Amino acid sequence: MKTYSWFIAKRYFNAKRQNGRFLSFIRIMAIGGIAIGSAGLLIALSVVHGFKSVINDKITGFGPEIVIKTYSDLPIYKTDTLLTFLFKFPEIEKVQAAVQTQAMIQSGNRVEGVLLRGLESTDYVTDLPHYIREGTYLDFISNENSHLINSKNDSSLSKSSEITPVIIGTRLRKELSTNLEKSVFIYSIKGIPSKSNLPDIKKAQIQGIYEIGIDKFDTGIAVAPIDWVRKLMNYSDDQSDQIYIKTVKGTDLRAFNAWLNDQLLYPLHTESVLETYSSIFAWVNLQEQTIPVVIGVTVIVAAFNLIGTILMMILERTKDIGILKTMGADDSTIKLIFLLQGSLITLSGLIIGISISLLFYWLQSQFLIITLPQENYYMSTAPVEPHLIDFVLVTCVTFILSWLASYIPSRVASQINPLKVIAFGKG
């Protein structure tokens, strides 16, 4: 009986009757509604996932996953001993000392305030070297941008090796109206400025320009060799302001950060990147939670449009239903025929919707057709990251909603009285 119902449902779905253009239009609209709704939801989910991944990569790429700080104004003493202590934990992959201070950077007549950060010449913990857009990262040449460094630049850098290299962001470069290999002056002071406490002035050379895409990173931070910044702050070789930590992939960052904090003695404490940039992560999570709900309403509306579509089909097939019942078809068979009819419409819409979403993913990945204002979204193009689980969930939910929507008209069809249909041509 199920095979019989399936055969009739397919014939009804594919049949083209005379004077049935309006019914075909209704069916096409139902398929289109499900296609647009499912495609919109899948595209929205893939964009939100991509957006979240890009933001997470940028923040964790520029800032370390966990930072060890001190509550006091004094530096961390015996840094080497602390680094050795941290290496014994299996959750920690890499650690690195860092020194930072408030400073002013001057190029020509322009002066900007920056957070001067001293790091190792090879950055072990963050991915900042990979965000270099022009020049080099201290002694690291970005693979993506090495073509920007010609032999003339290399020779000039070697000749001026006595001048300290400094890395700045693209927005800071614009504010200072400076460029690669230009000399800048860095002013730093500890305590309250006075006649007896004048700022230290050091000369440096811009060796690299990085671009994260997040304004607070590209504007307010400059990076220089840690030894040079230590001398600027009168630190010894075993003193630092912070310890950067990169954990092993898969580590629960919140839980490990809390546990590590308990292992340290006062005045040391830890702060994870999730806490440091909590407002940005909250903004991203809010979009991930709300956008699918808003777009998902389209799928719900499209699924329940099936009620009207199948009712129209029932009116068109009233005489057929009467004949089938007189031939022995029971109510469950009639109901199954129109449930399968709704399933065919849903399946057609889903196939088209999934195809549209995959086509969008390919077009966006290859041609970057959707651009974004980077100052607002922290990226210049819309990222796309489809997840298999999204396709499975959207397909299952759409089918469930479609079956629920198809049940009401199918039940109506099963209750048609064949005697009235045969006698009067209507049910």
Residue 159's Cβ-count burial label (10 Å; 0-12, 13-18, 19+) is: exposed
pLDDT for 8 = 83
CA distances to 72, 74, 382 from 193, rounded to whole Å, are 20, 18, 47
Query: Which of 192, 420, 221 lies closest to 326, judged by CA?
Result: 420
Cβ atoms within 10 Å of 205's Cβ, excluding its own: 18
pTM of the predicted protein model? 0.79
Average pLDDT, the chain: 85
The three state secondary structure string of 156-169 is HHHHCCCCEEEEEE
Q: For residues 74 and 406, is the Cβ–Cβ distance under 8 A?
A: no
Query: Which of 198, 180, 179, 175 lies closest to 188, judged by CA?
Result: 198
HSE-up of 407 (CA within 13 Å, CB side)? 6
Q: Cα separation of 422 and 252, whole Å?
A: 70
Q: Cα separation of 143 and 254, whole Å?
A: 33
Q: Cα separation of 190 and 198, whole Å?
A: 9
Query: Which of 13, 229, 11, 195 lies closest to 101, judged by CA?
Result: 229
The string of pLDDT tens digits covering residues 374-394 is: 878 888 899 999 999 999 999
Mean pLDDT of successive 10-residue stretches along the chain, which has 427 residues: 75 66 80 91 92 89 92 90 93 94 93 93 82 81 40 40 83 93 88 74 92 89 93 91 94 95 94 92 85 81 83 81 83 88 92 96 94 85 93 92 88 80 57
Q: What is the DSSP letter of 188?
A: E
